[in-house]
Amino acid sequence: MEVAGGMRKASSHASMAGASAGDPDDFDLTRLLNHRPRINVDRQRSFDDRSLAEHSISGTASRGGGGAYMESYESMYSPGGGLRSMCGTPASSRLSFEPHPLVFEAWDALRRSLVCFRGQPIGTIAAVDHSSDEVLNYDQVFVRDFVPSALAFLMNGEPEIVKNFLLKTLLLQGWEKRIDRFKLGEGAMPASFKVLKDPKRGVEKLVADFGESAIGRVAPVDSGFWWIILLRAYTKSTGDLSLAESPECQKGIRLIMNQCLAEGFDTFPTLLCADGCCMIDRRMGVYGYPMEIQALFFMALRCAVLMLKPDAAEGKETMERIATRLHALSYHMRSYFWLDFQQLNDVYRYKTEEYSHTAVNKFNVIPESIPDWVFDFMPSRGGYFVGNVSPARMDFRWFALGNFVAILASLATPEQSAAIMDLVEERWEDLIGEMPLKISFPAIESHEWQIVTGCDPKNTRWSYHNGGSWPVLLWLLTAACIKTGRLKIARRAIELAEARLARDGWPEYYDGKLGRYVGKQARKLQTWSVAGYLVAKMMLEDPSHLGMISLEDDKAIKPVLQRSASWPA
Ligand code: GLC
């Protein structure tokens, strides 16, 4: 009943704050969160909301045990279906209002995608075709795909599966990883794994892919980052610090950090990557410094520094390196990746071939390389982080995941976050269309498609990664909406998805400029389409869930910024 009570509070708050803002949908989340501490706020603060200045180095923040908190958490939010039966109904079935019928269908689909290893659920399969008893394809647990499933389980009060997943992937990280005769970095986390069964001998074993089987043989740079982000979500949601603080997890975090903080020839604090190393896992011109990776990198750094224990010498040293990198990374991203009307106008008037420290056009971007579509796309109100910045190259495309993660991680300043949401509103047809939401915008076509994708028939214009629409992104949009107080946007988008998702069989992606068509090669019953919808719904019902996946602005990493048009003084 607590859940329902909380819900009522949430809605009354929405209208109270809305009355002054003139819009009942837009409200100040912090007020809501402060008013309704579903979780032990004080303890969470000591773990999570310490500023960088604090964890940089000064030492021993105290962390109490989580026992008392766990007790109260369990009693007020006990799962409705629960892992115990593995086929139950959502906790929201206890709500005093009638949840959307799709919610039940989605929970059912999500539970049917559960993968067990030696009797314990350890993840969800990427997609299941229920038309047959057999699992027809994508029988792998993808690390990135599991994130929305994990959040759904956490929000429903079922943390065990998430804990199992975190521990199993940690074991896989410990494997020696080779591609041909080359040994991969120790910190590398798998893109996916699956359970191999030998019914004759009655044994089960795990097989993982670190890139050696993946199309294009690319290692998933995002996996380790998602793992860290999920570990923090688990900790924040359950209050169970023992997992993150265990020597195994501390080592796992350090290994990931060692890999992405290794010194090289870099002149930028951003992380240099190969094409296809993230959600867009095939050639799409996202090599170099793709926005998606930079945002996840930033978020993982922030989560890692919150979870690392400074008492061990290695932990302390890693925390210092993280703090230094965060300062540089946030400055770089906020200054050079940000594009709004004013900034676009500045780039348009750039001089080139500037040598020395006084250069304004630091990366020597040639104004003629600005594609025509940007001038029309850029509203006077709004802005976004561009897809990529490197020498003489700005990829002006919009990538949804990176921009929303930037909001959640507070890589985007509050002004930039608001501007991103303004852009979504102003360019609704382009970015949301009839099925939320575009993974990237716009599509690349013709000769450019040939060059950039290597003639990839799956990534033709307005399909798949090339301007296709991915329902899974709904949870990220919703989280960003809640954080910026723009609930109307999330509600509109969820309604659109509800009208078609189940009817179309929960496809992986949609095609077309407006996302009207079920994707050419989209798999049905794609688990993260199901989970993405559920997480979006649960967050809207109880916005305090946002806390597990969002980080507050950290004053200590605020750079000096020039203001531009979309940031009102
Ligand atoms: C596709 C997606 C990738 C996802 C995988 C499994 O390859 O591009 O992001 O992890 O399918 O669903």
Measured over the CA atoms of residue 533, residue 538, residue 540 and residue 545, the dihedral's sign is negative
- Residue 287 CB partners (closer than 8 Å, separation 6+): 273, 274, 275
Mean pLDDT of 73-97: 38
Q: pLDDT exceeding 70 applies to what percent of the chain?
A: 79
In angstroms, rounded to a whole number, what is the distance separating the alpha carbons of residues 292 and 388?
A: 9
Q: Is the CB of 435 under 6 A from ligand 1?
A: no
Ligand 1 centroid to Cα of residue 437, in Å, is 16
Cβ-defined contacts of 133-137 (< 8 Å, 24+):
137/523
Segment 351-373 shows an average pLDDT of 93
Work out whether strand 178-179 and strand 182-183 pair parallel, antiparallel, or are unpaired. antiparallel
Q: Which atom of ligand 1 is nearest to the CA of 527?
A: 12
Say which DSSP state 466 is in.
B
Q: Which of 145, 221, 466 to mutate to test the pocket of ligand 1 (most atoms within 8 A of CB)?
A: 145
Least confident of 20-24, 464-468, 513-517: 20-24
What region does 283 belong to: left with phi over 0, alpha with psi -120 to 50, or beta? beta
Q: Which atom of ligand 1 is nearest to the CA of 278?
A: 9
Q: Using 50, 70 and 90 to split pLDDT, how confident is the model at 18?
A: very low
Reported as a single tens digit per residue, the pLDDT across 294-334 is: 999 999 999 999 999 998 788 899 999 999 999 999 999 99
What pLDDT does residue 52 have? 39
For residue 126, how far is its CA from the centre of ligand 1 (angstroms)?
8
Sign of the torsion angle spanned by Cα atoms 204, 106, 150, 210 = positive
Please state the atom number of ligand 1 nearest to the C-alpha of residue 140: 6
Give me 233's structure tokens. 């979500």
Lowest-pLDDT choice from 15-24, 222-231, 479-488: 15-24
Span from the CA of 109 to the centroid of ligand 1 (angstroms)? 18
What would the pLDDT profile of 124-168 be if each residue is shown by its tens digit? Answer: 999 986 555 444 457 899 999 999 999 999 999 999 999 999 999
Please name the amino acid found at residue 73: Y
* C-alpha Rg value of the chain to the nearest Å: 23
The pLDDT of 187-207, averaged and rounded, is: 94
Which residue's alpha carbon is nearest to atom 6 within ligand 1? 126
For ligand 1, atom 9, the nearest C-alpha belongs to 279
Nearest ligand 1 atom to the CA of 192 is: 10
pLDDT number for residue 99? 81
Among 528, 475, 471, 478, which residue's Cα sits nearest to residue 501?
471
State the pLDDT confidence band at 258, using cuts at 50, 70 and 90.
Answer: very high
- What is the CA 252 to chain-centroid distance, rounded? 20
Q: What is the mean pLDDT of the chain?
A: 84
Q: For ligand 1, is residue 545 a contact (CB within 6 Å)? A: no
- What is the Å distance from ligand 1's center to 145 Cα? 7
How far apart are the CA of 299 and the centre of ligand 1, in A?
A: 21
Tokens describing residue 552 = 């507050």
Q: Binning pLDDT at 50, 70 and 90, where does residue 554 land? A: confident
The whole-number pLDDT of residue 270 equals 98
Asked whether 145 lines ligand 1 (CB < 6 A), one says yes
CA distance 124 to 113: 5
Q: How far is the CA of 444 from the centre of ligand 1 (A)?
A: 20
Residue 556's pLDDT is 67
Q: Where in 243-357 does DSSP place strands (E)?
A: 338-340
Residue 279 Cα to ligand 1 midpoint, Å, equals: 6
Going from the C-alpha of 228 to that of each of 200, 206, 216, 410, the distances in angstroms are 37, 21, 25, 16
Q: How far is the CA of 402 from the centre of ligand 1 (A)?
A: 16
Tokens 């979500």 found at: 233
Distance 375 CA to ligand 1 centre (A): 32
Q: What pLDDT, on a 0 to 100 scale, did the predictor assign at position 558?
A: 55
Mean pLDDT of 109-117: 95
Query: Among the atoms of ligand 1, which is closest to the Cα of residue 145?
Result: 10
For 407-424, how does the pLDDT look when each residue is reduced to its tens digit (9 = 90+)? 999 999 999 999 999 999
Q: What is the pLDDT of residue 333?
A: 98
Two tokens, residue 74: 């369990």
234 near 166, Cβ under 8 Å? Answer: yes
Which residue would you say has higher pLDDT here, 28 or 62?
A: 28
Separation CA 342–CA 327 (nearest Å): 25
Residues sharing a CB contact under 8 Å with residue 373, sequence separation 6 or more, in sequence order: 442
Distance in angstroms (rounded) separating the CA atoms of residues 186 and 284:
27
Peptide bond into 83 cis (omega under 30): no
Banded model confidence at residue 39, pLDDT cuts 50, 70, 90: very low
Ligand 1 and 126: CB distance under 6 A: yes
Task: Give which of 301, 304, 276 is closest to 290, Cα–Cα.
Answer: 276
Q: Is the CB of 541 under 6 A from ligand 1?
A: no
For 502-533, what is each residue's pLDDT tens digit? Answer: 999 999 999 999 999 999 999 999 999 999 99
Note the Cα 378 to chain centre separation in Å.
25
Tokens linked to 103: 């919610």
Give the pLDDT confidence of 393-403 residue by residue, as tens digits.
999 999 999 99
Atom of ligand 1 nearest to the CA of 126: 12
**Two tokens at 138?**
């994508």
Enumerate the H helices of 1-88 as residue ranges. Answer: 2-21, 29-35, 41-48, 52-55, 67-76, 82-85
Vertex 80: Cα angle to 77 and 82 (nearest 5)? 100
Q: pLDDT class for 214, splitting at 50, 70, 90?
A: confident
Q: How confident is residue 495, by pLDDT bands cut at 50, 70 and 90?
A: very high
Give, using CA atoms, the residue closest to atom 7 of ligand 1: 281
Q: Is the overall model pTM greater than 0.75, yes or no?
A: yes
- Atom nearest to 127 CA in ligand 1: 12
Percent of the chain having pLDDT more than 90?
73
Provide the pLDDT for residue 131: 54
Ligand 1 pocket member 279 (CB < 6 A):
yes
405: pLDDT strictly greater than 50: yes
| Model confidence band, residue 464 (pLDDT cutoffs 50, 70, 90) | very high
What number of CA atoms fall less than 13 Å from residue 417's CA on the CB side? Answer: 24
